[in-house]
Each structure stands twice: as structure tokens, then as C-alpha cells.
């Protein structure tokens, strides 16, 4: 038989697949998963009830325009629902933005340790992906601006960033926006915005309102604990909203995700409880790891980056943690092979993590 070879675009073959956090350890009785920055408390109870209530109607297609959900998001965050576009996770919207504004001959700017999906989505869209050096594991506005060229179409900043946990204050984002050419889209990925507790931070909505070239993306996968359901949203200027609607899957948000999203937003006290827990536990984990001799840069997310100094020690720490049923995230793919990213879990999960790393560091000094 005559075999016809397939012809993927050559640049697609250079894409490294996304490495998700490991979720299983063969042979372990109890596994504590601190590898994917999923909210410590799981899904809000009201969201679970909403999913159960939606189940009998799952043979119906969802409302493709997500009107009720967009309205609920708009009401919750004080935004115009007409400028919100929902997606199957914020990844969905990131891929669409890259397809819309990317393409052969264009450049996408991200930072050295920026969220890895930007590189995958950018390359898929045919962009050259430029990784700009950071300063102290933090996005550097001057360096970003220095790399902008006539081919630049998009700048992606996760604020705060995953996996470093660092953030840019609003003044720095304003400075970046003001100096970017008007034909460059600034994408502010605020996946962890709900965990931010600082007066100098702004997730980006005010900038979207003030300019035609800024988009903010958000997710229900972190504080709202629904990563498995896939629900995210973008707040964007009308011209970008129009193009996202033209290009998205017509039913890109499932029926269950609509109802669960609305219920999650209405869950009494959820954000307050989750924020208080994360702020306190993150400080506790950071201090305990530091006391054990592990460097932990200040983090603003629901995770910390533990710096073990060398890739060998980080790998040994990871093996030690796995031996105790604790899964964290290796971040060599982010250019940080000497670090592990650790999600903030429940207090008792964090206790086990702290104990395990204390023990590891006691043994490590004997190396």
C-alpha cells in the first residue's frame, strides 16, 4: 500500500509537551498532591451541588454565549459582562489569543521563567517565542521593553508568576503598558489574583478599561478549586472580545462548568477563608523551610519555590518527598532545575511536607 506521509508544520515538532504535575505514586498508600497549585480546599460545596443538579440535563448543549455565567463573573468582580469571554480553562483563551495575534513572522515575548503554556501556544500559532531575562526571578520591565521589535505582537506576563511566585506591582505594569507600542497586546495572566493581598497589586481590569491593547485572563482552577472542570475567562477590549468570540469553540464551556462557576462565585466566605488560609500557611511553610536551610523567595501565589542550590539536591529532595507520599513539582523545564515548586495544602499536609524536608535537610548536610 502506498503510504502518504503526513506533513505537520515543522515548527510544531519543536514544541515540548506541557508537563503536568504528577498525581500518582505507585505503591504509596496515601498520596498528598502538592504539584499543581490546585486550591487547598477542593471545590466549593455549592459548586458540587450545582454539578449534581445539572447532571440530568447533560444531553443538552450549553448556552454558547455563557450569558448567565458572564453576568455572574461581571457582578462578582464589578466588570462589564459584555467584555468577558469564557473558556475551557484560561489555557483555552491563551491559545486563542496566540492564534489571533500570532502567526509566522511574529514574535511573542514572555519572561525567562514565565508560565510554560505561553511558549506552547505561541509556537503552535507560528510565533517566535522570545524569553526575556528576569531580575531576581521577577519579570523585568526594562528588559521586556528592550526586546520589543517591529515583529512583536504579544507580551505575556503571569502576575503573580508560576512557578516563581513573584509579582509586578501595578506601577510597573503601568510603566510597561505605557511604553509598549499600541499594536502589541499585553496579556496579564492573573490566574492567582485571588490569592493576592497587597495594596500595590492590580489584576489588570483597570488597564483593560483604559487601553485597547490589554487583556486580563483569570481562572476557576486555583482558589475556586475546579481545575478538573476547566473554566477560565478573559476581560478584554471590545475588538479582542469580538475576535475571541469568532474563534472560540461554539460550546467551549460545558453545561456543568456554567452552573458550577456561578455557584462557586456565590459560595459564602469562600474567598475570605481561602485567602486567610493561604496567606498564613504560605508564611508558615516559607519560615519552616528557611529555618531548615532551604531558600524560599517570597511568593504571592498558593505555592512556594524551594531552592535547593543544585539540581542534584533538588532531585534528592523530590525522591525523599515521594518516599513519604508527597508529590511536588520539578521545575527543570522552567530553567529552575535546582528548585521544586510546592503547592500550599491543608495545614496537616503542610505539616507532613515540613517534617519531610526538615529530615531531608538534616541528612543532606551529611552528604
Ligand X SMILES: Cc1ncc(COP(=O)(O)O)c(C=O)c1O
The residues of the shown chain that bind ligand X, judged by CB under 6 A, are: 37, 89-91, 115, 158, 162, 189, 191, 219, 221, 227, 232
Extract the C-alpha cell encoding 93.
483563551
The continuous run of DSSP H or E covering 131 comes out as: strand 128-132
Judged by beta carbon, residue 86 or residue 288, the one nearer ligand X is 86
Cα separation, 232 vs 96, whole angstroms: 13
Judged by beta carbon, residue 140 or residue 189, the one nearer ligand X is 189
Query: Nearest distance from residue 301's CB to ligand X, in Å?
Result: 8
Judged by beta carbon, residue 213 or residue 221, the one nearer ligand X is 221
Query: Nearest distance from residue 21's CB to ligand X, in Å?
Result: 9
Beta strands in 31-115 (DSSP E): 32-33, 84-87, 107-111
Cα separation, 268 vs 256, whole angstroms: 20
Query: Nearest distance from residue 90's CB to ligand X, in Å?
Result: 4
Query: Nearest distance from residue 34's CB to ligand X, in Å?
Result: 13
CB 305 within 8 A of CB 299: yes
Cα separation, 3 vs 57, whole angstroms: 45
Judged by beta carbon, residue 139 or residue 158, the one nearer ligand X is 158
The continuous run of DSSP H or E covering 100 comes out as: helix 89-101
Extract the C-alpha cell encoding 4.
502518504
Query: Nearest distance from residue 331's CB to ligand X, in Å?
Result: 12
Query: Nearest distance from residue 341's CB to ligand X, in Å?
Result: 10
Judged by beta carbon, residue 189 or residue 259, the one nearer ligand X is 189
Judged by beta carbon, residue 39 or residue 232, the one nearer ligand X is 232
What residues contact residue 339 under an 8 Å CB cut-off, 6+ apart? Answer: 163, 305, 306, 307, 308, 314, 331
Query: Nearest distance from residue 192's CB to ligand X, in Å?
Result: 7
Q: CA quadruple 193, 163, 106, 86: dihedral positive or negative?
A: negative
Q: What angle do CA 36, 189, 47 make, to 5 degrees?
A: 55
Q: Which residue is nearest to ligand X (CB)?
A: 89
Judged by beta carbon, residue 189 or residue 300, the one nearer ligand X is 189
Amino acid at each position: 500500500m502506498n503510504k502518504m506521509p503526513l506533513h505537520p508544520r515543522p515548527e510544531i515538532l519543536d514544541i515540548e509537551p506541557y508537563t503536568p504535575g504528577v498525581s500518582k505514586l505507585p505503591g504509596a498508600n496515601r498520596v498528598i498532591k502538592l504539584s499543581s497549585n490546585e486550591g487547598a480546599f477542593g471545590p466549593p460545596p455549592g459548586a458540587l451541588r450545582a454539578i449534581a443538579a445539572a447532571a440530568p440535563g447533560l444531553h443538552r448543549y450549553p448556552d454558547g454565549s455563557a450569558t448567565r455565567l458572564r453576568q455572574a463573573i461581571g457582578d462578582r468582580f464589578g466588570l462589564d459582562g459584555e467584555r468577558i469571554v469564557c473558556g475551557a480553562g484560561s489555557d483555552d483563551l491563551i491559545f486563542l489569543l496566540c492564534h489571533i495575534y500570532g502567526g509566522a513572522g511574529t514574535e511573542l515575548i514572555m519572561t525567562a521563567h514565565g508560565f510554560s503554556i505561553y511558549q506552547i501556544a505561541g509556537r503552535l500559532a507560528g510565533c517566535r517565542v522570545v524569553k526575556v531575562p528576569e531580575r531576581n526571578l521577577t519579570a523585568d520591565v526594562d528588559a521586556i521593553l528592550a526586546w520589543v521589535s517591529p515583529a512583536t505582537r504579544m507580551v505575556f506576563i503571569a502576575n503573580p508568576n508560576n512557578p516563581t511566585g513573584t509579582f509586578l506591582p501595578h506601577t510597573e505594569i503601568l510603566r510597561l503598558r505605557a511604553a509598549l507600542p499600541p499594536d502589541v497586546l499585553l496579556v496579564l495572566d492573573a490566574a492567582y489574583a485571588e490569592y493576592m493581598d497587597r495594596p500595590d497589586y492590580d489584576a489588570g481590569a483597570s488597564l483593560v478599561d483604559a487601553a485597547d491593547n490589554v487583556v486580563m485572563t483569570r481562572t476557576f482552577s486555583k482558589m475556586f478549586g475546579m481545575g478538573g472542570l476547566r473554566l477560565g475567562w478573559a476581560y478584554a477590549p471590545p475588538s479582542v472580545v469580538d475576535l475571541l468570540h469568532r474563534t472560540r469553540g461554539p460550546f467551549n464551556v460545558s453545561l456543568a462548568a456554567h452552573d458550577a462557576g456561578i455557584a462557586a462565585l456565590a459560595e459564602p466566605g469562600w474567598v475570605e477563608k481561602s485567602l486567610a488560609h493561604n496567606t498564613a500557611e504560605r508564611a508558615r511553610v516559607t519560615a519552616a523551610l528557611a529555618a531548615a536551610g532551604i531558600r524560599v523567595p517570597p511568593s504571592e501565589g498558593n505555592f512556594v519555590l524551594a531552592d535547593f542550590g543544585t539540581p542534584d539536591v533538588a532531585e534528592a529532595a523530590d525522591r525523599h518527598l515521594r518516599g513519604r507520599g508527597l508529590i511536588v513539582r520539578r521545575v527543570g523545564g522552567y530553567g529552575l532545575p535546582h528548585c521544586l515548586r510546592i503547592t500550599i495544602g491543608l495545614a496537616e499536609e503542610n505539616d507532613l511536607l515540613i517534617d519531610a524536608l526538615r529530615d531531608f535537610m538534616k541528612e543532606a548536610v551529611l552528604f
